[in-house]
Amino acid sequence: MNKALAILGKDVLSELRSKEIVVSILFFALLVIVVFNFAFDPGEDTVKLVAPGVLWVAFTFAGVLGLNRTFAVEKEKGCLEGLMLCPVDRAIIYWGKMAVSFIFMLAVEAVITPIFLLLFDLPLFVPELALIAVLATVGFVSVGTLFSALAASTRSRDILLPILFFPIVIPVIISAVEATQVAFDGKAFSDMVSWLGIMGAFDAVFLVVSTLVFEFVIEE
Amino acid sequence: MSKRLYNLLLAFSFVLMIAALYLIFIYAPAEKEMGDIQRIFYFHVPLAWIAFLAFAVVFVGSILYLWKRESKWDMLAQSSAEIGVVFTTLVLVTGPIWARPVWGTWWEWEPRLTSSLVLWFTYLAYLLVRSYASEESMGARFAAVLGIVGFVNVPIVYLSVNLWRTQHPPHLVNNLDGSMLLTLQVSLAAFTALYVLLMYHSVSIRKLAGRVRYLKRLMEEREG
C-alpha cells in the first residue's frame, strides 16, 4: 500500500512541476465541449437531451489522452525499466499508476463540470454527479491503466489505446450518460440506482481482472 | 488429428450442410407472419451461437497461454478469434437483412445487436493488437490479455445495453414449431462441424507457419 502511494506521490510531484498532463487534458475537454456546442447548437429544448452525452464524450476523450501519457512518460525516459526493477509486486505498480490517473481525471472533471453546467445553462447544484463521476472514473482508469501500459510498449500507441479502450468501456459510458440524464431531469435517486450498480459491477470486475493480468503486460 | 478422422469430419460436415440446406429451404414451412424471410433465422441464430462459443474458446485459450506459455494455446485462441469475428460479421449482416422487412429498419440500437457490435469491435481489436507488437511473443501476450478482458466484459455489456433498449424477438426457440426446431438443430450442428473444421485448418496453418519460420532461421544461421 505504501509502495503504491510512493508511485502516486512521485507522479503527482512531477505533474505539479511540469503541469503537462492535467492542464492539457483540461484544455482538451473544454475544447470538445465547445466543439459539440457548435455541432448541436443546443437550444433550450435540445440541451437536456444532448448535455449528458456531450459531458461524457468530453471526459472519455480527455481520459484517453491522459491515460496515453501515464505510461508514455515512463517509456520515453527509460523510467519503466527502473520502476520494474523496484522490489515490488507488479500489481503495486498498477495500483499506483491507476491512482494517479484517477486523481488527474477527477481533478479535470471537477473543474470542467461546473463550467459545463454554466455554459449549457443547467442546474448548478447536482450532487449526484459526484458519485457518478467517481464510479465512472474508476471504471475508466481500471481498464485504461492496463491498456495504457500495453499500448506504451508498442509502435503507434496513440491509436492503439482508443481502439482497445472504447469497446471495453462502453458499459461505463452508457451507464454514466443515463445516470447523468436522470440527475439533470431531477428525477428520484432510485431511478439511477441500476445504472450506478452496473458501473459498480464493472469497477469491481475490472479492478480484480486488471490486477491479475497486469504483470503480463509489462513483462520484458 | 489423423487423416482418417479428418476425412470423417469432412464427410460429416458436408452431409450436415446439405441436410441443413434442404431442411431450411424445402422442408421447413414458411413462417405465418414473416414469410420466407424468417428462414434467415436458421443461419443467423447458429452463427451467433457459434461466434459466442468461439470467443469462449479464445478466453480459455488466452488463460492457458498466459499460464503455460505454450504457443499451441495462443494458436488456438487466435484461430478461434478469427473465425468468431467472421461469424459475428455474418451475424451483423444477416440481422439487418431480416430486420428491414420485419421491423422496417436495417438497424436498431437494441441489446443483442448492440452487444454483437461491441463484441465485433472487441475481437477486431484482439486481432489488431498483435500487429502492433514488436515481437511475436509480446503480441501473443497482449492478445491473451485482451482475450480475457474482452470476454469478462460480455455479461456487463449485455446487462447495460439490455437496461438501455429492448426490441429483439425474445427466445423464439422455446415456442418453435417441431419442424422448425429440427431445422434449427441440424443447422446448428452443421455450423458447429464447420467451426471445428475451420479451427483444424487454421491451427494447422499456424503450426506450419511456425515451422517454416523456424527452418528459415536455421538456414540463415547456417549460411551466416
Distance CA A212, CA A92 (A): 11
Distance CA B197, CA A128 (A): 53
**C-alpha cell of A55?**
459531458
Distance CA B77, CA B123 (A): 11
**pLDDT over 60 (residue B156):** yes
- Closest residue in chain A to residue B126, using alpha carbons only: A164
Residue A194 forms beta bridges with which residues?
A: none
Q: Number of folded domains in chain B?
A: 1
For residue A40, what pLDDT is reported? 80
Please state the rounded mean pLDDT for residues A116-136.
88
Distance CA A150, CA A154 (A): 7
pLDDT band, residue A125 (cuts 50/70/90): confident
Q: How many angstroms away from the CA of A94 is the closest CA of chain B?
A: 15
- What are the CA-CA distances from residue A111 to residues A141, A146, B208 (Å)? 18, 26, 57
DSSP assignment of A109-161: HHHHHHHHHHHTT--S--THHHHHHHHHHHHHHHHHHHHHHHHHTSSSHHHHH
pLDDT tens digits, one per residue of B114-144: 888 999 999 999 999 988 888 888 899 999 9
Distance CA B222, CA B62 (A): 35
DSSP assignment of A3-44: HHHHHHHHHHHHHHHH--HHHHHHHHHHHHHHHHHHHH---H
For residue B36, what pLDDT is reported? 81
pLDDT tens digits, one per residue of A164-210: 999 999 999 999 999 998 888 888 888 888 899 999 999 999 999 99
The residues, any chain, with a CB within 8 Å of residue B97's CB and separated by 6 or more, are B37, B40
Range of the domain at B97: 3-29+39-223
User: Nearest CB to B128: which of A153, A163, A210?
Assistant: A163
Distance CA B185, CA B179 (A): 10
Three-class SS string for B144-158?
HHHHHHHHHHHHHHH
Contact A63, A105 (CB under 8 A): yes
Distance CA B58, CA B88 (A): 14
Question: B8 in a domain, yes or no?
Answer: yes
**pLDDT over 60 (residue B105):** yes
For residue A158, what pLDDT is reported? 81
Contact B153, A168 (CB under 8 A): yes
Choice among A97-101, B131-135, B209-213 with the minimum mean pLDDT: B131-135
For residue B37, what pLDDT is reported? 82
pLDDT tens digits, one per residue of B28-55: 887 777 778 888 888 998 999 999 999 9
pLDDT > 90 fraction of chain A, expressed in percent and rounded: 45
For residue A204, what pLDDT is reported? 95
Question: B93 in a domain, yes or no?
Answer: yes
Choice among A52-61, A64-73, B59-68 with the minimum mean pLDDT: A64-73
For residue A220, what pLDDT is reported? 62
Report the length, in residues, of chain A: 220
Question: B34 in a domain, yes or no?
Answer: no
Do the Cβ atoms of B132 and A216 come within 8 Å?
A: no
CB of A216 within 8 Å of a chain B CB? The answer is yes
The residues, any chain, with a CB within 8 Å of residue A202's CB and separated by 6 or more, are A139, A171, A172, A175, B156
Average pLDDT, rounded, for chain B = 88
| Domain boundaries along the sequence of chain A | 2-219
For residue A98, what pLDDT is reported? 93
For residue B165, what pLDDT is reported? 67
Please state the rounded mean pLDDT for residues B158-182.
70
Chain A residues with CB under 8 Å of B122 CB are 167-168
User: Nearest CB to A213: which of B148, B159, B163?
Assistant: B148
DSSP B35: B
Do the Cβ atoms of B66 and A213 come within 8 Å?
A: yes
Q: At what angle do helices A193-217 and A157-184 cross, to 10 degrees?
A: 160
CB of B146 within 8 Å of a chain A CB? The answer is yes
Please state the rounded mean pLDDT for residues B84-107.
89
**pLDDT over 90 (residue A4):** no
Question: B105 in a domain, yes or no?
Answer: yes
Please state the rounded mean pLDDT for residues B138-158.
92
Contact B61, B80 (CB under 8 A): yes
CB of B197 within 8 Å of a chain A CB? The answer is no
Average pLDDT, rounded, for chain A = 88
For residue B189, what pLDDT is reported? 92
Residue that the C-alpha cell 447548437 belongs to: A41
Q: Complex ipTM, two decimals? A: 0.87
